[in-house]
Amino acid sequence: MTTRDEGIIEFAQWLLSPPGRYLLDWEQACIDRAVADVFGFHALQLGLPQLDALRANRMPHRWVAQDSLVVPQRVDLPAPREAITTQSPSLPVALHCDFDVLPFPSQSVDLLVLPHGLELARDPHETLREVERVLVPEGRVVIVGFNPASLWGLRHRLGSMRRRLGASQRPRFLTHAGEFIGYWRLRDWLRLLSFEVEIGRFGCWRAPVRSQAWLDRWAWVEGIGERWWPVLGAVYLVVAVKRVRGMRLVGLARREKGKPQAAPAVAVNRRREPVEIE
């Protein structure tokens, strides 16, 4: 087992802890709202199979892909609200593939969801290029990631630094296999690939504590953080649309039939000139 697989297992175990479930509850609710009204035929989830990111979507063909042979335990989360969606009777199909070489033709997927998929990917840049390749024009991508400019990100960096210096043997607060990607950095990557960001929001402002009791004591921070310091949320969600310059959607634009040109008018001189007889 590689170091990366061990990190994925540790992260899956952390998601079963009180802060992990608190994080997944927020992410599941936001993703449900983001994908409920996205229409098409093919939807794909990359990474974090513990979270059913496509459960609120009604597309007939859905896949959940992971690039590791580790099968983490699924976390039981509340069902989506009835007002959001009517669930599809079919379950997503599980795939094992590399995120930077997706087994889908170009411009064939209508919706792509990456719940921490870029952070867990071996190469986040190549993964995002593959996302752009397989998405249809005007297709949507939903990305969820940890915010390094938050209390959670700060505690994670301090814990990693102390462990490298040998000053502490305590486990890190976020046992994570990948590198955190900042919100504005991700927006720059998307803009370079001709994506247009539709939605960007932050969440999870409670302090980075491990016990459920202390998480409940910090519940009052949610409303204040959302209003006064939203960019300090522990996690962010981005919804972006793939734009193609010079593209014209066939069928949406009404075709104007060319009007037949009028035949040239012929002037007839009906006036007879007098004829002189000698």
Question: For position 56, which CATH number holds?
Answer: 3.40.50.150
- Domain extent, residue 35, equals 3-242
Domain contains 265: no
Q: Which band of pLDDT confidence, cut at 50, 70 and 90, is reported for residue 74? A: low
What local confidence, expressed as pLDDT, does residue 46 receive?
94
Q: Which whole number is the average pLDDT over 212-238?
A: 92
Q: Which band of pLDDT confidence, cut at 50, 70 and 90, is reported for residue 250? A: low
Domain contains 259: no
Q: What is the pTM of this model?
A: 0.80
| Mean residue pLDDT across the chain | 82
- Choose the weakest-confidence range: 42-51, 168-177, 196-205, 251-260: 251-260
Domain contains 134: yes
In angstroms, the CA 177 to CA 175 distance is 7
Domain contains 247: no
Domain contains 263: no
Any long-range contacts for 3-7 (C-beta under 8 Å, 24+ apart)? 4/68, 4/122, 4/177, 5/68, 5/69, 5/70, 6/177, 7/175, 7/176, 7/177, 7/178
Domain contains 270: no
Domain contains 253: no
Number of domains in the chain: 1
Domain contains 215: yes
